[in-house]
Amino acid sequence: MDNQKYPIPDLSYLRELTEGDEESMKEIISIFLEEAPKLMIMMKESAEANDHEKLKFATHKLITQLTYVGVNSIVPEVKLINSGSVNMKDLDERIDRIIIVIENSITYLKGLI
């Protein structure tokens, strides 16, 4: 996987939220690292099971999480899935792309704490 292809998280919003407090930033990143994988699994599984309600729920939660830690590049795509306007045949491909970006962001963020 080519990490250079994906933008690293932009932590400026998190810095603003925490007013630059390093400990608080680390705490928030830790929660993201704990929660995001669960949401990724939920998103993937609900898409495979055609469970639209669950998919909506998982993407709803992901939007906020991704915004807090600055994984902004894929937020529009997650919003699109959340709004239910993605063609089913493109859904898997889009979700895979989102997961790759989140996984790369997780690797990057782990290095910060």
Q: Which is nearer to another protein, 18 or 73 (CB)?
A: 18
Nearer to another protein, 27 or 45 (CB): 27
Q: Measured from the CB atom, is 84 or 92 closer to another protein? A: 84
Q: How far is the CB of 97 from another protein (least distance, A)?
A: 19
Shortest Cβ 68–another protein spacing (Å): 6
Residue 21's φ and ψ, nearest 5 degrees, are -75, 110
Residue found under tokens 């930033």? 25
Nearest to 58 by CA among 47, 36, 44, 43: 43
Contacting positions for another protein (CB under 8 A):
13, 16-19, 24, 27-28, 31-32, 34-35, 56-57, 60-61, 63-65, 67-68, 79, 82-83, 85, 87
Please report which residue ranges of 1-113 form alpha helices under DSSP H: 12-18, 22-48, 52-68, 75-82, 88-110
Least CB distance from residue 43 to another protein, whole Å?
14
User: How far is C-alpha 61 from the geometric centre of its chain's CA atoms?
Assistant: 9
